[in-house]
Structure 1
């Protein structure tokens, strides 16, 4: 494929992924803040997202084969269409339903959204592997896609909080569904030729795990890495910040929506910016693969003490306190910096390790592990916060980060086969 069509295809994939992740971030914040405002407990809030993560695990196991069988454009379009359907379903949520019925319904809708998200993610990341003109460009292209995606998702967090505070839950959902529908139509009509179609051997089911132990070990490290983030990110920190920032009264609660959404947005935008800059931070995109493996192990280790120190500070504070809130903001921004570099290295390594003839299945297995980590983190976030408050929530995140470091240590280049 010549350079111009390749670049157009990459730009189209990136634009579609941006639109999807903007809606994904906004939807998560809308659901979290809306139901927290209705008085749902931390455990119930976590349950709202459980099927989202379970669906991600199942989707990633099968999506790689689907993409190989039907082509990446098909799975990308399918992800966008399913997200629109999930948004439309949420508009039918009835405030008169019981808590149990509301939880069950939102869980089911979030499950559809989880399928949609992982179809779009797998399609986009696999396309980068197959479109990139070489290994040097691969690190830059995947870092740019992943970093920009997370920056857009961060904007989605703020957008969701702002829409909830300004127009309410249902109107916000309708607005998001309408915009995403227009984007899907544009992508279907104008996506240039260049996304790969069926791949050789696509009719054969060849199992879930990769034949390359590096892919399997990296996937394990990825699972614990994202578990470490979501243990504090999904429920613990948003609920703590809302309690710390909103005295009694509806006006204060609306202001807290903007503040909590603004922090979550800033964190994810900063995380995305660091991901995009990771090749420069690590000395350029042309370094040997063994150096990237060593960097991944080192940065995984740097992440471990941050949540543990914050957990000790939260235990010392004994509740909400201005000094603790300020420390959490700074500490979690530092966590985001280290996490972003580590995540960017993982995203590069899975594409560098993956074989071209089964890249969609290797990437699917890797993102299955990613979704499993988010599921574990989601459950831990609600359960640990309800049982032990913020200290236990952050300490659990530290233990997950330590497990990721241990798993990454098994990637040492001298113990693995050559690429």
Structure 2
């Protein structure tokens, strides 16, 4: 086993462990506070700092990774997640909204430090010119991460029923602390540290390709989260009358399938170079939420078939779009100071999630699921139009 492969496996293992706790925590918070009687908008606001600090962290984290090394930013992310989980293990009387929002803020910082470090690290482990290998490694990392996030959704529902909210976060904090200790010993030193110390002004990307791709990514993830984060689990629990096992299990299955498709994306799309694949796959995706919204508004067909079937189709096409973007950002990023470009891109990703999360709670509470789906279609269409400005493949 080569040194590069060993480091890839360590990075992937860290990413997997973190993702399990991240997915479980999101499902725990949504279901627990829905059970306590919180409105969809109030639940969405619990994630406000999680998403906001994701924007800030990706921008500053790329700079930090280039200066001190990606090994340190990844380990810092693991440690902060342990602290965030420990904050939620307090007695129920102390779980006031500001306290939960503060814990979610730490979790948001931790998640994006971890993600930025993992995606940037891969760029440095694949020799220059081996773009097929780079696409496959990125797809495997991203797809497996999302598969485990789905497992985390299911785990969150199971732990909530088996151990309660407090017991669940204690178990996750203890497990992740062990992973953090192992990572301190195994992850290579100075991975990703830039040879030239970056200036603070280098935070903003000067590359047209990075800027265009970042804008498309923002609308793509806003389109997912505007109906998936808050509106969908609340809809499944209230309209369909599903219990925590069913909601967590269904959403977990969706994320797992989504992750599998992401890992297989290179086989589905062939090469992922240039703007054509990004535009065509986004255009196809925009049709799904548009048709779902129309079907729910007109009352044509059973709502269960529309939501479940539509979500499956959305997941397949969204997975391909996301995998293409994940490859292109690593492809376009500079080798020296890669975390700066990747951090800027994932800042836009976090901005899309922030926008989608807040709109998900507000739109669902005021206009219902069809409005969330309609805005999702608009956002994906914008992502497709923005992608038209990506550079053509190099000849």
The TM-score, its normalising length taken from structure 2, stands at 0.96
Report the counterpart of residue 120 of structure 1 in structure 2: 114
- Give distance in 2, aligned partners of 1:334 and 1:201: 45
Structure 2 counterparts to residues 329-368 of structure 1, below 5 A: 329-368=308-347
**Partner residue, 2:61:** 63
C-alpha contact (below 8 Å) 1:151/1:268 kept by paired residues: yes
The offset of 1:201, in angstroms, is 1.7
Specify the SS of the correspondent of 2:200: coil
* Aligned match of 2:382: 403
The counterpart of 2:221, out of the listed 210, 223, 226, is: 226
Corresponding position: 1:307 with 2:289: yes
Equivalent residues in 2 for 1:119-268, closer than 5 Å? 119-133=113-127, 134-191=130-187, 193=188, 196-246=191-241, 256-268=243-255
**8 Å CA contact retained: 1:151, 1:269:** yes
> d(CA) in 2 for partners of 1:96 and 1:181?
23
Residue deviations 1:4-42, cap 9 Å, x none?
111000000000000000000000000000000111011
Residue 311 of structure 2 corresponds to residue 327 of structure 1: no
Rounded Cα–Cα distance in structure 2 between residues aligned with 1:63 and 1:357: 15
1:109 to 103, 111, 121: 103
CA distance change for structure 1 residues 200 and 384 in 2, over 3 Å: closer, same or farther? same
CA displacement, residues 260-281 of structure 1 (integer Å, 9 cap, x when unaligned) = 1011101111111000000011
Q: Deviations over 1:112-143 (max 9, x none)?
A: 00000000000000000010132221000000
Shift of 1:244: 2.9
Q: Kindly provide the CA deviation profile for residues 168-198 of structure 1, in whole angstroms up to 9, marking residues without a partner as x.
A: 100001000011111111111233x376152
Assess if the C-alpha contact under 8 Å between 2:209 and 2:391 holds in 1. no
* 1:208-245 per-position Cα deviation (integer Å, ceiling 9, x unaligned): 32221010000000000000000011111111100133
Compute the displacement of 1:396 (Å).
Answer: 1.5
1:408 deviation in Å? 1.2
Counterpart position of 1:295: 277
Distance 1:340 1:129, change over 3 A: same
Name the structure 2 match of 1:44: 42
Q: 1:367, 1:203 → 2: CA distance?
A: 18
**Contact kept in structure 1, 2:63 and 2:203, CA below 8 Å:** no
SS in 2 for 1:304: helix
TM-score of the two chains, using structure 1 as the length reference: 0.90
Residue 207 of structure 1 deviates from its aligned partner by 2.9
Partner deviation per Cα, 1:340-389 (whole Å, 9 max, x = no partner): 00100000000111111221100000000000000000011001001101
Residue matched to 1:389: 368
* Contact 1:384 1:396 survives alignment (8 Å): no
For residue 82 of structure 2, the aligned residue among 70, 81, 84 is 84
The answer on whether the counterparts of 1:47 and 1:103 sit within 8 Å (CA) in structure 2 is: no
Report how far residue 288 of structure 1 moved: 7.3
Q: 1:57 to 1:288 in 2, by over 3 A?
A: closer
In the alignment, the residues of structure 2 paired with residue 260 and residue 316 of structure 1 have an alpha-carbon distance, to the nearest angstrom, of: 25
Report what 1:272 is aligned to.
259
Q: What are the ranges of 5 or more consecutive residues in structure 1 without an aligned counterpart? A: 247-254
Between the aligned partners of 1:88 and 1:196, the Cα distance in structure 2 is 29
Is the Cα–Cα contact under 8 Å of residues 233 and 247 in structure 2 kept in the other structure?
yes
Q: CA deviation at 1:404?
A: 1.1
Is the 1:9–1:194 contact (alpha carbons within 8 Å) kept by the matching residues of 2?
A: no
Deviations 1:76-125 (A, max 9, x none): 1000000000000011253376xxxx222111110100000000000000
Is this contact kept in 2: 1:6–1:194, CA < 8 A? no
Confirm or deny: 8 A CA contact 1:5 1:194 kept in the other structure: no
RMSD: 1.7
Please name the residue that 1:252 is paired with: none
